[in-house]
Amino acid sequence: MTEYWVEPLGLLHGRAAAIAVAADLALPLAGGPGAFTMVRLLGEGAPEGALALADVPDGWQDRVLALTRAPSAFAGLELPHEGGRPLVMGILNITPDSFSDGGHFADHANAVDAGHMLLEAGADLLDIGGESTRPGAQPVAPEEECRRILPVIRELAKAATISVDTRNAATMLAALEAGAEIVNDVTALRHDPAAARVLSRSEASVILMHMLGDDPRTMQQDPRYGDVALEVAQFLADRVAAVERMGIPRGRLAIDPGIGFGKRLPHNLALMERLPLLAGIGCPIVFGASRKRFIGELSGVEAPVDRVAGSVAAALHAASHGAAIIRVHDVAETVQALAVWNAVSAGGVEDEDA
C-alpha cells in the first residue's frame, strides 16, 4: 500500500513548460508536454503546503521523479499522440439503455457505420460496450452482451484498435478472440473472478477504473469520501499492484479515476482538479467525462446530447492535467479543440510563407 504521495502543482504546458524544464525550474509531468513547478507532499510527517522542487526533502526525490516518467505505448499506440496531445477514444455503445446514446446503434450495420464515422472524425481507437453501466443500470448476461458487440468488433477491428467495455470474463475472452486488444473494466477486475485468468493468458491491455463499490445499481447511493483524490489514487495504486500479482504486467495497464461512478459533483470536480496526482502510479491516465451528469449540473443542460461544449471543456482540462487517453462521444469536436489548444500552447505553427 502506498502511504505517501507527491502531488504536482504549478502546472505549465507546451512552450512555457519546455522553457521552464530547460531552465531547471520545472519537471515534465508524465513525460510531457506538461510540467510542474511545485509539489505538495502527502503522508504522515510530510511538511505542509506547497514546496518548490529545490526544497523537496531527502527521501522524497524518487517519488517526485516517478511523476516525470512517460508511460510506455498502450496497446501498441504511442503516448502522447501527435504533437503531444492525448489519444482520443471514441465511444460506441450498443445498448438500449446507455445514458446518452442508448438504442441508437442496436442494428449491427448501423453500429459499424457509426464506428467508421468516429474513426473518420479522428478517433485513435474505439471503446465498444454492450452493457450500460450508468447509475442504476440493470446487469446484462454475457450471452446477450456478446450478441450485441461481437459482430461489430469483428468488423471494426479490421480498421482500428478496439477496446471492449465489459466487466464479464466470458465477454472479455470472446471480444479478444474477435479482435479487441484492450479490456476496459469499470470494476477494475473486481466483478468477475475469472477475468484475471483470462487476461493473464492474453496479450491484452487493460483499463482499471475506480468505482465506489462494484455495482452500478448502487454506486450513487450516498457516496462519501474523506479525501476523494487520495482515496481514488490509493485504490488505483492498490488495484495495479493486485493485478500485477495476478500475472498482468504494469506495462499493459492504464488507470481511470471513474468520473461519475460513485461520485457527486464536488467529488468529480476535485478529481479533475487533482488529476496529476495519478501520474505517480506510473500508468497512462484515461479520462472519461463525456456528456456526464455533472456537466448538466454545472450548466443547466438536461439532455446529455446537448452537453458537447461542456464535454470538450472537460477534455481540454484533462489534456492539460496529464491525461493520456480521452474517452468521448463527440470525437470531431474534441479532436478539433485539442488541435487548436495544442498549437496555441506550443507557441504556434511554422508559417510557410514567412
Annotated active-site residue 15? The verdict is no
- Of 85, 134, 291, 292, the active-site residue reads 292
DSSP output for 69-92: PPPPPBTTB-SS-GGGPPEEEEEE
Respond yes or no: is residue 292 known to be catalytic. yes
What long-range pairs does 229-232 form, CB within 8 A, spacing at least 24? 229/270, 229/271, 229/274, 229/277, 230/5, 230/42, 230/277, 232/257, 232/258, 232/271, 232/278
Which residue is listed with cell 475472452?
Answer: 173
- DSSP for 307-339, written as a single string: -HHHHHHHHHHHHTTT-SEEEES-HHHHHHHHH
In the numeric block, the cell 505505448 is attached to: 73
What burial letters (b/e) apply to 275-289, b meaning 16+ CB within 10 Å? bbbbbbbbbbbbbbb
What type of residue sits at position 102? G
Do the strands 205-209 and 253-256 form a parallel or antiparallel pair, or are they unpaired?
parallel
Q: Is 120 exposed, middle or buried (0-12, 13-18, 19+ CB in 10 A)?
A: exposed
Calculate Rg over the CA atoms of the chain: 20
What's the sign of the alpha-carbon dihedral 274, 276, 278, 284? positive
Say which of 63, 252, 274, 327 is annotated catalytic: 327
- Which residue numbers are catalytic? 292, 327
